[in-house]
Amino acid sequence: MKLPNIHIITEDTIFSSIIYRLLLNRFGKINFTQSHNLFELKSNSSGKVYDAVLLDNFIAGTSQFELLAYLRNNKEICAPILYFTNNTLDENGALEAGATKVINKPFVPDGLVDQIQFFTTLVNE
């Protein structure tokens, strides 16, 4: 079985650590990379293939919808994009900008990992 290749975009190291541990508990091993802003994303994602991209709603210096549009319009990134927010008003804007799924914080850990597993399975079929 191919290891899931997950990329997270967040400045929040606690959030990133929680997601990483949840995924490790489910998959055992994963390829997990992180960007903290749009500049890092552009330099880190060139030539990479992701099974899922996880985007936190707050990235300093960049509109989250601008970042979503960049991800969706980037021909190299065709992975599902899961957008995390604590503002339910963000949902329509996020979906219009290119999010595959909006996940409200706080989230149920098992439910989140089930959704990530579902999307990574779709990508790998």
d(CA 48, CA 77): 8
pLDDT tens, 87-110? 888 899 999 999 999 999 999 999
At 73 the pLDDT is 85
Mean pLDDT over residues 67-87, rounded?
86
d(CA 67, CA 96): 12
Query: Which residues contact residue 110 at a Cβ distance below 8 angstroms, ignoring those fewer than 6 apart?
Result: none
- Tell me the one-letter amino acid at 4: P
Provide the terminal-to-terminal Cα distance of the chain, rounded to the nearest Å.
Answer: 11
3-state DSSP assignment of residue 49 = coil
Which of 24-33, 74-83, 85-94, 104-113 has the lowest average pLDDT?
74-83
Token output for 87: 């503002």
At 125 the pLDDT is 60
